Structure 1
């Protein structure tokens, strides 16, 4: 009897946690939690509903070896017609107390970071997103060749509710 109760509870929890607006989700794992400076992550997706607005998120999973409270990323979104949008982004990853802002149990935390809000994908074809890190230590000109503590980076696209 208790097993049936737990099974029903697990099913209900999984249904509640599902995101019905999610239209794309993909993650790239980084080997041994190390992101090399010249390692660019690539995501590709086909056109979505051409009149529907979408929200794009970059999801980052980090562990306790990540040595910073923020994260700088360089992104390049390429449209099917060849036009590109390049952005340099900064995200807070921890509170001033050092507590991670991401969600999750144990040593891995996942942060869902806003990338583009209410974007429309009007062109048919393949869209490409490239993501690389742009981290460096304070006072240093050269970037970090290896960024520790990032285990996975993902792209999620959801239908906008606006």
Structure 2
């Protein structure tokens, strides 16, 4: 148990050290690795400069016992008044569907994924925004998901994925 915690801490440290343009990065741990549909983590962050574009990412940590090659998530973007700006269903590919080879960065049986879901997005104005994420799979609870989160990065030519 101590080794898993140490590896998780090391992996988290390595991943957080790479996001120099991140204005926000946060994870929520999934209790007992059982993600219920009713559990929809929310992430609130502040945008100070709405004149620049941002890249928004899902962060996901799962173990190799996760039973599917993909994960469907519904995301909700709301402004500071709670008004919904957008909701969208996204599919994340966690493993190669044919070979089962995991995508992402792995250490032992843990894999971290970072999926772009908004490229060069311009927020309507400065202020606080909330992104809520809900798993949208047929299984409830969804097993072997350890944590989910988001990263908001200021977009620059160097970090704007193609």
| Structure 2 length-normalised TM | 0.81
Aligned with residue 148 of structure 1, among 111, 125, 143: 143
Deviation at 1:60, TM superposition (A): 0.5
Partner of 1:124: 126
1:77-114 alpha-carbon deviations (Å, 9 max, x no partner): 01235242000001111012111101021111001011
Contact 2:25 2:151 in 1 (8 A): yes
Contact kept? 1:93, 1:111, Cα under 8 Å? yes
Which position in structure 2 is the counterpart of 1:3? none
Larger Cα-atom Rg = 1
Q: Which secondary structure state, in structure 1, belongs to the residue aligned with residue 146 of structure 2?
A: strand
For 2:160, the equivalent position in structure 1 comes to none
The answer (yes or no) to whether the contact 1:50–1:120 under 8 Å persists in 2 is: yes
Provide the residue aligned with 2:38 in structure 1: 38
Match of 1:89 in 2: 90
Contact 2:55-2:120 within 8 A present in 1 as well = yes
1:109 aligned residue: 111
RMSD: 1.4
Asked whether the equivalents of residues 49 and 126 of structure 2 are also in contact (C-alpha less than 8 Å), the reply is: no
Partners in 2 of 1:161 and 1:47 — Cα distance? Answer: 16
Matching residue of 1:21: 21
Unaligned runs of 5+ in 1: 1-13, 137-143
User: Structure 2: which 5+ residue stretches go unaligned?
Assistant: 1-13, 158-162
Query: What is the CA–CA distance in structure 2 between the aligned matches of 1:147 and 1:83, rounded to whole Å?
Result: 26
The whole-number CA distance in structure 1 between the counterparts of 2:32 and 2:142 is 11
Report the Cα offset of residue 120 of structure 1. Answer: 1.3
1:52 — aligned with what? 52
